[in-house]
Structure formats: C-alpha cells, structure tokens
Amino acid sequence: MTQPVKSKYSYFNYYFQSVLRSEFQNRDPITGIFPETVIQEADQILKILIATLPKKVDGKAAIIELKEVDYQWKQMEWIGWYSEHKLFTILTQKIGGRKGPAFGNTTFDYQKNYVWDFKAHPGKNPKEKINEPMILNDREALDLCIQQYQGIGFIVVHGQAVFDSSGEFKAWHDELKGGHSTYEKYFLTLSAFFSLTNDG
C-alpha cells in the first residue's frame, strides 16, 4: 500500500548556533587564519542574523510568508527555502549585497564582498538520530566558486524540528497548494512501484 508523503517538519525551533565553514584560497597556509576582511564580513553577517532571526518558526506561518512573496511555497522542504529567503532578505536590507554567482544549475545564495551559501540543518532526523552528514552543495560548483571568487562560506541555521507525525500539517499544505506537487507525484509513483515489487 502506498504511504502518503508527509512534510518532515511542522515546526522548526532553531537557536542560531552559528556554524561558519569556509574555504578561502588566500587563507594563510601555515597558521590557517582567514584574511581579516573575511572574518569581519562573517562577523557582521552573524551578528545581524543572531539579533534578527526569530528563535522559533511555525511551519504554517513560514509557508504563508513564502506564498505572499511567491517563493517556493509549494515545496515540502520548506525549512531550507524559508531560511534562504529570510537570511537573504535580512542581509540585503541591512547591509546590501546580492544573489551569489551561478555555476551550472547551482546558484549560491548571497554575495557581498565574499560568496556565502545558506543552509538549514535540524539536529535530529525523524528517528531521533543525529542528522549527519550535512549536505552542502554541488562539489564542482564549489570548486569553481573557490577558484573564481577566492572562496565560499557557509552560514548554517541549526536547530531542533518537531515532526509532523499525524499528517495534519501535510494535509493543510496540500489543501493550500491545491494538491500534490510534481515532485510529490513522482515520489508517490516511486513508492507505489517499490511497494508492488517488494510484495512478492
């Protein structure tokens, strides 16, 4: 029997535990110290986000906010899209900046003097296991960005998620968007295929 696709999260309570993972070509090869300008920009970004981001995000409110600006609001993985939208909006309003460079199908999220990519990462998965590893981005795009822009930094929104075990949140989201997305229809078809093949 095909199981309904459920959105992973109904709430994302995140404390902004700033995790900065960066690779810059002009990092000192002996001390490992980043250039002062990189540290200053990272510090400025993190201070703004820590002071501005809400400490708790309701999934329904987040999706409505995305819908109002017509940005990826139909996606199941709303936490990532919401974080990307929120961080980019806050930073461009506070300190300027623009969308990052694109390499193939990969566009990095933000660029001021340096290129940054935003990630949202729940600490545990639905089975209450540590949610590792954290997938960052396409390796080839990362290598090209490092070559052309002297580096890439990651700003990670890290927190705890409350999962939609009842399916109520998924049902609400489906009703809001008028049914399953193309991605979900594909996933349901795939699930049905595996269910049939595994039955006998």
Q: Which two tokens stand for residue 121?
A: 């990462």
Q: Write b or e for each residue in 75-104: b if 16 or more Cβ atoms lie within 10 A of its Cβ, otherwise e.
A: bbebbbbbbbbbbbebbeeeeebeebbebe
Considering only residues 190 and 57, tell me which one the structure prediction assigns the higher pLDDT: 57
pLDDT in tens, 168-200: 888 888 899 886 666 555 544 444 443 343 344
Region 96-113: mean pLDDT is 96
Is there a domain that residue 188 lies in?
no
Is there a domain that residue 86 lies in?
yes
Would you place residue 32 in the very low, low, confident or very high pLDDT band (cuts 50, 70, 90)?
A: low
Is there a domain that residue 173 lies in?
no
Is there a domain that residue 182 lies in?
no
Region 120-131: mean pLDDT is 79
Is there a domain that residue 189 lies in?
no
Considering only residues 199 and 167, tell me which one the structure prediction assigns the higher pLDDT: 167
Is there a domain that residue 136 lies in?
yes
Would you place residue 77 in the very low, low, confident or very high pLDDT band (cuts 50, 70, 90)?
A: confident
pLDDT in tens, 138-151: 989 999 998 898 88
Its sign, for the CA torsion 171, 135, 81, 41, is positive
Name which of 104, 52, 47 is nearest 83 in CA terms: 52
What is the domain count for the chain? 1
Q: What is the pLDDT of residue 52?
A: 92
Show the domain range for 24: 9-166
Is there a domain that residue 79 lies in?
yes
Considering only residues 155 and 11, tell me which one the structure prediction assigns the higher pLDDT: 155
3-state secondary structure of 47: helix
Is there a domain that residue 184 lies in?
no
